Structure 1
Amino acid sequence: MTTRRHGGPFRTATAGDDLRLFLLTGIGTVLVTRWLLARTGYPKLGGHGTGLHIAHMLWGGLLMAAGLVGLLVFAGRRVRLWGALCGGVGFGLFIDEIGKVVSNDGGYLYRPAAGLIYLTFAVLVVVSRWLVRPGGPQGARARTVRAADVALSGVASGLTDAQRRSALRALEGSERPVDLALVRLLECVETAAPKRPGVRVPDVVRRARSIVAALRGHRVTLWVALTWTVLQGALLLIGVGRDLAAGQLRHETEWGAVTGLVVCSAVMLGLAVAGAVALPRDRVRGLGLLRSSLLVDLLAGQFFDFVVNQFSAVTNWLVGLALLAVVSRALQEEAGVQCGSRPRKASSASALS
C-alpha cells in the first residue's frame, strides 16, 4: 500500500447551510438583544450595591465554547446544527458589546458600535461566500471527502433518500477503492426515521423560497428595485444638503460617518443612473451596474448608515438585501439568455425595455 500526503482542507457537505445558520443566528441575536435591552431600560445583571456587572459578552463566550466543545467531541449532523446555533447566539451576544471593547467613553451605547457590528457581519458574509464558492476545492478527492462526511452523519443519525442519492451521485463512475467502499457504506447506512406529521421547518423554507423566487422573477419587482435604488441615493443627498443648509447638523458628532454616507450615496446613485441608462441597450451591463450600486450600499454605505442612524437603519438594510436578490436573479437570467442557455421569454429583465 502506497502512502501519500493528502491535500486540503476540504469543505464538509453541509458547509454552506451551517455557515448560513451561524450568521443568521448571530444577526438575529444582536437585533433581539438590542430590542429587549431598549424595551427594558438596559438593566444590569449582577449584585446590587456590589459594583459587579455580568456583561452578556460573558454568556456569549460560554455559548461559543459550548458549541465548539460539542463539535470537537461529538459526531453527526444534529451536533453540527446545534454547534452552529450555539456559536451564532454566542457570537451575537459577544459582538453586541463591541462598544465596551473599543471605547471607554460611550461604553455599550458607543455610537460607532452599531456600524462596527454591521461591518463585522458584512465581512463574515463575504468570507463565508468565498469559502463555499462554486469554484472551491474540486476533483475526486473533494467529492470523496463530502461523500464520507454524509456517510459519517448517516451512521450517527441515518440518511434521508435525498442525502443518500446525492452522495452516491458524487461517487458515480469512480473506480477508486475508497470510493467503492464508500458506496457500499452509503447503501448500508440506515434510513433516517420519518418525520412526525405536522409543520416542518424544511417545508416552510421550501415554500418561502418558491414565493420569493416568484416575486424575484416578476417585472414589477425589478422596476421597484431600480426605482428604490435611484431614489434612495437621491433623497439621502437632498436630505443631507437640506439639513446642512438649515444648520441641523451643527451638533453632529459623527461627521466622518456622515461624509462616508454621502460619498457612498453619490457613488450608489451614479451607478444606478448609469445602469438605468444602459438597460435599453445592454441589459447585462445595465443590471450589472445596478447590482454594483446595491453592493456599494450594502458593503460600505450601510456601515456609515448604522453609525449615523443606529439600529433604525435595519429597515434600509433589509430592503437592500431583498433588492440585491432581485437584481442578481435578473442578471443571472439575462446572462443565461445571451449565452443561449434559456429561452428569451424567461428573462425578467426584458420587461424593462
Structure 2
Amino acid sequence: MSRAPRGLRLVRSTKAVQHLTTFVVAGVSTILLTRLYLALTGYPQIGGDTGLHVAHVLPGGLLMLAAMWLQFSYVGPGPRPLAALLGGVGFGLFIDEVGKFVTSDNDYFFAPSAAIMYVVFTGFVVGAHFWRRRVPLSDAERVANAAHVLVDGLAGRLSAQRRAEVLHSLDGLDHPRDAVGVAEVRELLERVETRTPAVPQRFEELWQRVGEGFTRLASSRFALPVMGVLLLAQIAWALAVLTELVLSRTPHGVAVGGVLVGAGASTVFTATGLWQGRRRGRRAAVESFQRSVLTSLLLTQVFLFAVSQFAATAGLLVDLALLGLVNADLARLRRADR
C-alpha cells in the first residue's frame, strides 16, 4: 500500500507514471497549439458581436468533467488512457488562461503566465516520478493491479499482449508465496479469453504501426547517437531563436531566462546520457535522454512560445517524436531486464 494518511489506504497503479505523462504531454501540447491557433486567427472571441465571450476555460472544464465521468462510470483500467488524454487537454485549456485569474485586469498575455504553467506541470511530473521511485510497489499492490486488469478479462475485453504483460509482472514478485491471491488471479488470467481491444480497427492498426515503428527505430544500433544528435539540435534551435531575440533587443526577460534554463538543463541531461551510454549502459543513457526531452517539452518550449510561436510549435513536434522514440526504447530495455 502507499504511504497515506491514517484511514486512507490507497493502492497505486503500475501505469500511474504512464497516465500522468500522457496527461502532462496532452496539457502542454494543448497550451502551445491553442496559443498558435489564436495568434494565427487574430485572437477571435467565441460569441462574436453578441456581447458574450466563451472563454476556453469552459470547454476545458467540460473535458475534465468527461474524464472524471469515465473514471466514475466504468470499472477496470480500460478508460484510463482516454481519461488521461481528455483530462490533459481540458487542464491545458484551463491553465492556459491563468493570466486572467491572477491579474486584476484579466490579462491573458500576463508575462509570468508561462512560468506559472511551467511550475505546475514540472512539479506534477517530478512529484510523480519521485513518489514512485522512493516507495516501490509492493507485492500486494502488484497482485491488486493484476486483479484490476482481470476485470477487463472477465468482461471479454483483455488483449493477449496486456495479459502477457500482467502475467510477467506476477512472475517478478519478490515473495510470491507470501502474496495473497496471486495463484487465483494468475489462474483466472490464464483462463479468460483474449480479444482485440474494442476500438475502431483502423484506428487501432494506426497506433499499432506507430508504436511498432518507434520500437523498430529504437532497436537500431544507430538509435542512441541519433537521439543524442536530435536532442542537441533541438537545443541549438532554441538558442538560435533566443540569440536572434537578444540581438533585436526585444524585451522578453522572463522568456529568455526560461529558455536558457531549459536549454542548459537539456544540454546537461543529453551530455550525461551520451557519457553514460559508454560507462553504465544503454538504459542509463536513455533514461537521461528522457529527462532531456521532458525538460525541453515542459520548460524550453513553453517559454519559447512567448518568443516565437512557430519555433515552439516546431520544437513541440520534434519533442513529441523524440519522446515516443525514447519511451519505446526504454520500454524495450525494461522488458529485456525482467
Same fold (TM over 0.5): yes
Kept in 1: contact 2:146–2:166 (CA 8 A):
yes
- The corresponding residue for 1:191 is 194
1:235-261 deviation per Cα after TM superposition (whole angstroms, max 9, x unaligned) = 5786566x2xxxx42x62x33443554
Task: Give how far 1:165 is off.
Answer: 3.1
Alignment of 1:154-169 (within 5 A): 154-169=153-168
- Alpha-carbon contact 1:63-1:90 (below 8 Å) kept: yes
Within 1, Cα distance between the matches of 2:127 and 2:270?
29
1:255 aligns with 2:253: yes
User: Deviation digits for residues 267-326 of structure 1, max 9, x if unmatched?
Assistant: 877x599879x969x8569x79x9688787666555543444456334345556767898
How far 1:64 sits from its partner (Å)?
0.8
Contact 1:112 1:307 in 2 (8 A): no
Question: Does 2:204 match 1:204?
Answer: no
- Counterparts in 2 of 1:156 and 1:96: CA distance versus 1, 3 Å: farther
- 1:88 positional shift: 2.0
Aligned to 2:182: 179
Which residue of structure 2 lines up, in the alignment, with residue 15 of structure 1?
16
Aligned positions of 1:1-353 closer than 5 A = 8-46=9-47, 48-49=49-50, 51-105=51-105, 107-133=107-133, 136-172=135-171, 173-174=176-177, 176-193=179-196, 198=202, 200-214=205-219, 217-218=222-223, 221=226, 224-225=229-230, 228=233, 231=236, 235=240, 239=244, 243=247, 248-249=248-249, 252=251, 254-259=252-257, 261=259, 301-302=300-301, 304-309=303-308, 312-316=311-315, 319=318
Give the Cα separation in 2 of the matches to 1:132 and 1:160: 26
> Following the alignment from structure 2 to structure 1, what is the Cα–Cα distance between the partners of residues 218 and 161?
22
User: Is this contact kept in 1: 2:36–2:309, CA < 8 A?
Assistant: no
Give the Cα separation in 2 of the matches to 1:205 and 1:16. 21
Q: Rg larger in 1 or in 2?
A: 1
1:149-207: per-residue Cα shift (whole Å, max 9, x none)? 11123223432223333333444553655223323432443432577765614422322
Structure 2 alignment gaps of length 5 or more: 1-5, 331-336
Contact 1:305 1:313 in 2 (8 A): yes
Percent identical among aligned pairs is: 34
Relative to structure 1, the CA distance from residue 7 to residue 140 in structure 2 (aligned partners, 3 Å threshold; closer, same or farther) is: farther
Q: Alpha-carbon deviation of 1:57?
A: 0.4
Q: Contact (CA 8 Å) 2:219, 2:329: kept in 1 or not?
A: no
TM-score normalised by L of structure 1 = 0.67
Residue range with higher mean Cα deviation, 184-193 or 321-330: 321-330
Report if aligned partners of 1:233, 1:266 keep a CA contact under 8 Å in 2: no
Distance in 2 between residues matched to 1:57 and 1:198, nearest whole Å: 32
Letter in 1 for 2:26: T
The alignment yields a C-alpha RMSD, in angstroms, of: 4.7
- Which has the higher mean CA deviation after the structures are superposed, 228-237 or 80-89? 228-237
Alpha-carbon contact 1:76-1:153 (below 8 Å) kept: yes
User: Which amino acid in the other structure matches residue 156 of structure 1?
Assistant: A
Q: Secondary structure at the match of 1:100?
A: helix
For residue 266 of structure 1, report the CA deviation from its aligned partner. 6.8
Contact 1:154 1:189 in 2 (8 A): yes
Flag the 1:317–1:66 CA change in 2: closer, same or farther, 3 A.
Answer: closer
Q: What is the DSSP-based 3-state SS (H/G/I as helix, E as strand, rest coil) of the residue aligned with 1:42?
A: coil
Supply the AA of the counterpart residue of 1:204: R
> Aligned partner of 1:224: which letter?
V
Q: Which one-letter code corresponds to 1:89 in the other structure?
A: V
Instruction: Give 1:94 shift.
Output: 0.9
CA contact (8 A) 1:77 1:157 kept: no
**SS of 1:85 mapped into structure 2:** helix
Tell me the secondary structure at the aligned position of residue 65 of structure 2. Answer: helix
Q: Secondary structure at the match of 2:195?
A: coil
